[in-house]
């Protein structure tokens, strides 16, 4: 059985695709990696919010899934829009890595003192402004290696990134601080990979891919988070955040939204049991919206 794996071309994306390839080959398949450039890779002179939030890192891969050029697409789960194209679906969710955001620097950074951090995430900037108002930030786009080079050239003192990408690229030694998820709650899907496929994919390939790559407890958490995000109508330009924890049976979903300047934060946690993921996600979104989240979202949409 031969499986064509579509991926973006950054070093991190290739690491992720190679990981998937190795797992599938251990299960008896042969694989090849197909590199596809996305809009998010091409446009680096504007913020993600300025470009638009839907499909920036997935649209071109999905086109290749639709025409059969590739069998699966490997995404960072946090990049995948909540509404997929008709005929496409997430066939597997991999086991989750550490979900926290971290500071990366080659300087001695004191989190309680003023410094400049580089980030392209509205969620991270807003939460930083709320919990650490003394920290300044600058817009920072590009792959991980490009961002580190810009930091070394003096564009900022530190970078604010997801632990998973930093770890996978072997930069653990320059992590200078790991934020608690109580303060910097991660983006929905952070720390895991989403494997997307066409419903037309042959059944034998579907079975092998899912049985090899899917991690059920993580998948249940991701469904809760993505349902929450869907009902919040949040994209990468809107600072909505969500994190589900649990063993696949007893679970807790934390989510919320924060104003762009960090001044107003609405956040809550809901506990639920297995197979209640979508209900929990929808219920939490309704709670957040009614508690003031709707006002925050309307103000953000008027500004963007």
**Which amino acids are annotated catalytic?**
79
Q: Is residue 303 part of a domain?
A: no
Looking at residue 304, its pLDDT comes to 65
Looking at residue 249, its pLDDT comes to 77
CB under 8 Å to 52, separation ≥6 — which residues? Answer: 237
Q: Give the domain range for residue 6.
A: 1-95+192-214
Q: Is residue 286 part of a domain?
A: yes
Q: Is residue 185 part of a domain?
A: no
Distance from C-alpha of 154 to C-alpha of 139, rounded to nearest angstrom: 13
Question: Which CATH number goes with the domain that contains 119?
Answer: 3.40.190.10
Question: What is the pLDDT of the chain when averaged over all its residues?
Answer: 91
229 and 256 housed in the same domain? yes
Instruction: Give which of 139, 135, 137 is closest to 114, Cα–Cα.
Output: 135
Looking at residue 58, its pLDDT comes to 81
Q: What is the DSSP letter of 82?
A: S
Distance from C-alpha of 34 to C-alpha of 17, rounded to nearest angstrom: 9
246 and 275 housed in the same domain? yes
pLDDT band at 47 (very low <50, low <70, confident <90, very high): very low
51 and 157 housed in the same domain? no
Arithmetic mean of pLDDT, 240-268: 93
**Total structural domains within the chain:** 3
Answer for the pair 5, 70: CB distance below 8 angstroms, yes or no: yes
9 and 59 housed in the same domain? yes
156 and 116 housed in the same domain? yes
Name the percent of the chain lying above pLDDT 90.
82
Looking at residue 51, its pLDDT comes to 42
- In the chain, the N- to C-terminal Cα span, in Å, equals 47
38 and 153 housed in the same domain? no
pLDDT band at 56 (very low <50, low <70, confident <90, very high): low
Whether 118 shows a pLDDT value over 80: the answer reads yes
48 and 157 housed in the same domain? no
Q: Is residue 251 part of a domain?
A: yes
123 and 200 housed in the same domain? no
Q: How many CB atoms lie within 10 A of CB 149?
A: 12
SS3 257: strand
Q: In 235-255, which positions are buried (b, 16+ CB within 10 angstroms) versus exposed (e)? A: bbbbbbbbbbbbeeeebebbb
Q: Whole-model pTM? A: 0.91
Whether 50 shows a pLDDT value over 50: the answer reads no
Arithmetic mean of pLDDT, 137-154: 92
* Burial (CB count <10 Å: 0-12, 13-18, 19+), residue 22: exposed
88 and 5 housed in the same domain? yes
Whether 46 shows a pLDDT value over 50: the answer reads no
27 and 150 housed in the same domain? no
Answer for the pair 120, 47: CB distance below 8 angstroms, yes or no: yes
Whether 26 shows a pLDDT value over 70: the answer reads yes
**Among 178, 206, 233, where does a domain finish?**
178
Arithmetic mean of pLDDT, 31-56: 62
Instruction: Give which of 240, 218, 212, 205 is closest to 82, Cα–Cα.
Output: 240
Whether 238 shows a pLDDT value over 90: the answer reads no
Answer for the pair 159, 143: CB distance below 8 angstroms, yes or no: no
């Amino acid at each position: 059985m031969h499986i064509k794996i579509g991926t973006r071309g950054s070093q991190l994306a290739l690491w992720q695709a190679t990981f998937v390839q190795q797992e599938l080959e251990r299960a008896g398949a042969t694989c090849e990696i197909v590199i596809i450039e996305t809009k998010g890779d091409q446009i680096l002179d504007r913020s993600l919010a300025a470009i638009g939030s839907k499909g920036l890192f997935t649209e071109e891969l999905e086109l290749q899934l639709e025409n059969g050029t590739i069998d699966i697409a490997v995404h960072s789960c946090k990049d995948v829009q909540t509404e997929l194209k008709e005929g496409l679906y997430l066939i597997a969710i991999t086991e989750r890595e550490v979900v926290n955001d971290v500071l990366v620097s080659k300087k001695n950074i004191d989190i309680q003192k003023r410094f400049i951090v580089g980030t392209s995430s509205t969620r991270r900037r807003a939460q930083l402004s709320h919990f650490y108002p003394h920290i300044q930030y600058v817009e920072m786009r590009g792959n991980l290696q490009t961002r580190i080079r810009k930091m070394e050239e003096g564009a900022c003192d530190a970078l604010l990134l997801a632990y998973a990408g930093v770890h996978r690229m072997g930069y653990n030694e320059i992590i200078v601080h790991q934020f608690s998820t109580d303060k910097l709650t991660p983006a929905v899907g952070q720390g895991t990979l989403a494997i997307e496929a066409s419903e037309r994919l042959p059944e034998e390939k579907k079975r092998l891919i899912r049985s090899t790559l899917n991690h059920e407890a993580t998948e249940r958490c991701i469904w809760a988070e993505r349902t929450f995000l869907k009902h919040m109508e949040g994209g990468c330009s809107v600072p909505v955040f969500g994190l589900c924890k649990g063993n696949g049976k007893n679970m807790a979903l934390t989510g919320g939204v924060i104003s762009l300047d960090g001044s107003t934060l609405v956040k809550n946690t809901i506990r639920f049991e297995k197979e209640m993921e979508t209900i929990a996600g929808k219920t939490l979104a309704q709670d957040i919206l009614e508690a003031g989240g709707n006002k925050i979202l309307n103000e953000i949409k008027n500004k963007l």
